[in-house]
A and B are shown apart, each in its own frame.
Chain A
Amino acid sequence: MTKPPSNNPLPNKERIKLPRQRVPEQDPQVRAHNFQEVNLGFPAEQARQESLRCIECNKPGCIDLCPVSVNVRAVIDLILAGDYLGAASKVREDNALPAITGRVCPVEDQCESGCVLGKKGEPVGIAYLERFVADWERETGQFGSPVAAPATGKKVGLIGSGPASLACAGDLIQMGHQVHVFEALHELGGVLVYGIPEFRLPKDIVRHEIDVLRRRGVVFETNVVVGKTVTIDELMQEEGFNAIFIATGAGLPRFLNVPGEHFNGVYSANEFLTRVNLMRAYRFPEYDEPLYPCQDRDVIVVGGGNTAMDAVRSALRLGAKSASIYYRRTEKEMPARVEEVHHAKDEGVHFEMLVNPVEFLGDEKGNLTSVKCIRQELGEPDDSGRRSPVPIKGSEFVVPCHVAIIAAGTSANPLIQSTTPGLAVTKRGYIAAKEDTLATSKPGVFAGGDIVTGGATVILAMGAGRKAAKAINEYLKGLDEPKPEQAQATVQA
């Protein structure tokens, strides 16, 4: 089988000899003290060099393992042709927020883990390339807004403004529907603005993507807590929404339920990151939101996911004397992106594995002073095949600590579920939605993203948003056709 014409001048055996390009980064010593972006992105020449490595597989594993099947191979070829705008459009066919996924996708589990080059050497730096084309597009102001289908007159309400909703909004507006996004907070973007810090995902980039949607006609309304300010039934019955997409994320913080969690200085990661990112407490007093002081103090973050890494690296930037990750399993089991763990280590974060806090200790003013932990070992594999940690008797120890941040996961916020009659939920309180259409038990209401799956990833949430847009489009078409019962009735008559 012959390959389609390629813009890569090199024979395959040359390509595989090329080393993976290292992306320029802020120096660890410097960046550990500022909130500017760590990863500086490829300049054009490096993007070209990296693209040259791709051997243009017939069955690209990269595409198979991208949750939204970005046509990586075609994108790389367009980069080699120098058509960066074309490359960006190609990405956008499947991924509405490439500047964001190019920064936060856990590629070691996704596209890059499918890249054939990874079998012997290092995979192609796909996320870096995706980011390159998206940044190029934004920085040169060249976003060509796609032509939308004729107006359908149908109105869809999207609840929440995280990646699931943003992706859904982009597709629905393209299909000619009216799209209205309701967000509880004062800023749009969900976890992208209140969770993931500036040094990993600059807020301007999220804002830009939202502005693009706004210019395309999506209406955003902040400060609306659906379930409180207005209910789903009211939106559908009184405000004329024909369909609803619920994408409210997995917002509820989990605590450890050990004694002393009320001491001043003990935070949920949600609160700590919200204060730092959404409220910009790192710029206090210019911004008014206070934060319990981290400067020159010992900070411990409990957990091993992206949230824990973001919290610990933020604490470091706020001037912590020591910033440590306490995780109950081993590094191998840590769910965080590999790049973040490396970055954290380079910046001087301390990692303490196989430990779990059993009590927080404080002084008479109620301020946290230390934490008592217990060591653990990995026991027999459980039903899920994972070896779960077992406490080692008598191994308790106490470490000084002034700020403790608990990043032990989140669960479903029950607000919408409890105010929407007829909306079925799962055992764990997430919204039950059909796998193929994301339809819920309530007609016209769809749901996706973390509120259905539990805490997952940006690209999976976006994938859900697109799937829902497609299903909503079908549903809205169906509204105009005579109902099957009615049709039958006419036939019988």
Chain B
Amino acid sequence: MFEIVEARPLARGIKQFVIKAPRIAKKQRPGQFIIVRLDESGERIPLTIADADPQAGTITICVQAIGKTTMLMNMLEKGDFILDVVGPLGKPSEIEQFGTTVVVSGSVGTAMAYPTARELKRAGNKVVSIVGARSKDLLVLEDEVRAVSDKTYVLTDDGSWGEKGLVTERLKQVLESCKVDLVLAVGPVPMMRAVANLTAPLGIKTIVSLNSIMVDGTGMCGGCRVLVNNSSQFACVDGPDFDAAQVNFEVLMQRNNMYREQERTSIELLQADPGAELKKLREENARHACALDAVEASHD
């Protein structure tokens, strides 16, 4: 049982949670993720650790509601419980002194890229952040990003905030205007692919964080496999960071579409009566908490 000690909306459909998970808070490194299972009937989904407080024993995550599990999760409030949280999983991002680094991110990807950007800055890199979103109300962590970046560009597709345009257009200008040693791109697959297409011909080292569908997150199932340099790699243990130039993004997109129909069914079921689903989750998790207390009491 993992308690939510803080929950606040960050943007439209994006919520930030602070969760009590002392073991994970102590061990996590930037770029790593957790897997959560909300309740007994829930699926397991991966979420990036956006921040952590080892003293308080908490981790922070940001969730964008796109399907059943993330929608249900975003209905949770402070004081609610999540049945299972496991991590930190995946390899931490490689943090070195590269020189000038550009961090490109889109919507919730900004929350995922933020801890790495912060560490890159701490390691003595010059950090240029390019943050994008469809519109103003989808932007997250702008202030946090500005605080750890030497230069920050904010763009929206519709021009409702910052510059109007695409992150890749801005990236192109940055690459033309100065020598860049490392690009990190985190966000929707088409965005990461566009960045890779831009930087690969220039030979600039580019890292992408791949969001394949996962189950266990420990290398046991192979469901998260991605095609990198024409061979299968497991995103949960070999990644999630990979060299963008070697990633086959088409295969990643295909595989992320694998459960489209079932996902739609799940969403419809949730939307038919969201209150009931939430009630069920709360009741089930309360039952689990009771059972755990009983076992602990019997050991005293």
Mutual binders A and B? yes
In the assembled complex, the CB of A352 is this many whole angstroms from the nearest CB of chain B, namely 24
Q: How far is the CB of B288 from chain A (nearest CB, A)?
A: 11
Q: Which of B23, B69, B261, B263 has the most CB of A within 10 A?
A: B23
- Asked if B43 contacts A253 (CB within 8 A), the reply is no
**Known contacts A251-B219, A253-B220, A262-B251: does B23 contact A229 (CB below 8 Å)?**
yes
Q: Is the CB of A264 within 8 A of B266?
A: no
| A253-B215 Cα distance, complex, nearest whole Å | 13
Output the least CB separation between A337 and chain B (Å): 23
Kindly state the separation between the CA atoms of A252 and B223 in the bound complex, as whole angstroms. 12
Cβ-defined contact, B232 with A184, below 8 A? no
Contact: A184 with B44, CB < 8 Å?
no
CA distance A293 to B261 in the complex (A): 10
For residue A61, CB closer than 8 A to chain B, the reply is no
The residue of chain B having its C-beta at the shortest distance from the C-beta of A227 within the complex is B218
- Give chain A's interface secondary structure class: loop
Interface size on A, residues (CB 8 A): 44
Please indicate the chain A residues that have their CB under 8 angstroms from the CB of B261 in the complex: 293
Q: Which of B44, B250, B269 contacts A285 (CB 8 A)?
A: B269
Interface centre among A228, A264, A270, A271 (most CB of B within 10 A): A228
Distance in angstroms between the alpha carbons of A75 and B55 in the assembled complex: 56
Partner pick for A264 among B43, B69, B255, CB 8 A cutoff: B255
| Partner of A223 from B43, B69, B84 at Cβ < 8 Å | B84
Report yes or no: B220 in contact with A366, Cβ–Cβ below 8 A.
no
Distance, CA A284 to CA B221, complexed state (A)? 19
Roughly how many angstroms separate A365 CA and B261 CA in the complex, as a whole number? Answer: 14
* Residues 276-298 of chain A, each 1 if its beta carbon lies under 8 Å from chain B, else 0: 00011000111111111100000
Binary interface encoding of chain B residues 247-270 relative to chain A, with 1 for a CB under 8 A from any of its CBs, else 0: 000110011011101110110010
Closest chain-A Cβ to B257's Cβ sits at a distance in Å of 8
Residues of chain B with a CB closer than 8 A to A215's CB: 298
Contact segment of B86-94, B148-156, B168-176, B187-195:
B86-94
From B41, B84, B86, B232, give the contact of A229 (CB < 8 A): B86
Name the B residues within 8 Å of A285 (CB-CB).
262, 265-266, 269
Closest to B296 in A: A219
Interchain residue pairs with CB less than 8 A apart (17): A186-B83, A186-B84, A217-B299, A222-B84, A225-B89, A228-B89, A229-B24, A252-B219, A253-B222, A264-B255, A271-B215, A271-B222, A271-B223, A274-B220, A290-B266, A291-B262, A415-B237
Q: Which residues of B contact A (CB under 8 A)?
A: 23-24, 27, 37, 41-44, 68-69, 83-89, 215-223, 225, 227, 232, 237, 250-251, 254-255, 257-259, 261-263, 265-266, 269, 295, 298-299
Beyond the given A268-B222, A413-B218, please list 6 additional residue pairs across the A-B interface where CB-CB is below 8 A. Answer: A228-B27, A255-B222, A262-B225, A270-B220, A271-B222, A288-B266
Q: Which residues of A contact B (CB under 8 A)?
A: 184-186, 214-215, 217, 219, 222-225, 228-230, 251-253, 255, 261-264, 267-268, 270-271, 274-275, 279-280, 284-293, 365-366, 413, 415
